[in-house]
């Protein structure tokens, strides 16, 4: 399946490349955590994985807390920092919609739902579908899990 450029019009402008095929086992939050073995979402019925003890709410504090279980903590920006891996939480008025992880070269990687993983500029996914980046987090590269 091809990336839906109509849904993410800034991807074409800022550039992107597909880095893996579709895979419905994991999603963007798991990918931001560095994992590919489960679908992370705060489904109130508990059908999806969500870290134990974290509120199953679609809020920025709940997403921040979920990512803190894999070593992330809030930080001020998405600028590349030596020794740190960063994550970004995107949201609309309804709450978080997406999470992305920064690559060692400063670009970002995202899992688009059950579709492909892509490498992209941070602003490439901003827009009606995912909203804007509302929270940055970071963890020491030594803590980073690898799929």
pLDDT in tens, 41-97: 999 888 899 999 999 999 999 999 999 999 999 999 999 999 999 999 999 999 999
Which phi and psi (to 5°) does residue 38 adopt? Answer: -160, 160
- The number of helices, as runs of H, and strands, as runs of E, in the chain is 3, 7
pLDDT exceeds 70 at position 25 = yes
Q: Is 134 helix (H, G, I), strand (E, B) or coil?
A: strand
The number of residues in the chain equals 147
Q: How far apart are CA 1 and CA 140, in angstroms?
A: 34
- Binned at pLDDT 50, 70 and 90, residue 143 comes out as low
> Which of 81, 101, 79 lies closest to 89 in space, CA to CA?
101
Q: Which residue reads 């500029």 in tokens?
A: 121
Specify the pLDDT at position 142: 76
Specify the pLDDT at position 46: 82
Work out the average pLDDT over 106-127.
Answer: 96
pLDDT exceeds 50 at position 147 = no
């Amino acid at each position: 399946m091809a990336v839906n450029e109509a849904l993410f019009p800034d991807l074409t402008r800022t550039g992107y490349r597909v880095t893996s095929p579709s895979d419905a086992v994991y999603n963007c939050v798991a990918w931001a955590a560095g994992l590919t073995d489960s679908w992370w979402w705060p489904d109130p019925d508990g059908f999806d994985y969500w870290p134990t003890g974290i509120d199953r709410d679609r809020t920025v504090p709940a997403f921040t807390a979920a990512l803190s279980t894999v070593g992330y903590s809030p930080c001020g920006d998405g600028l590349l920092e030596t020794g740190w891996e960063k994550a970004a939480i995107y949201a609309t008025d309804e709450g978080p919609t997406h999470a992305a992880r920064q690559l060692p070269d400063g670009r970002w990687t995202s899992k688009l739902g059950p579709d492909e993983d892509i490498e992209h500029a941070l602003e490439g996914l901003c827009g009606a579908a995912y909203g804007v980046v509302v929270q940055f987090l970071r963890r020491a590269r030594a803590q980073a899990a690898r799929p």
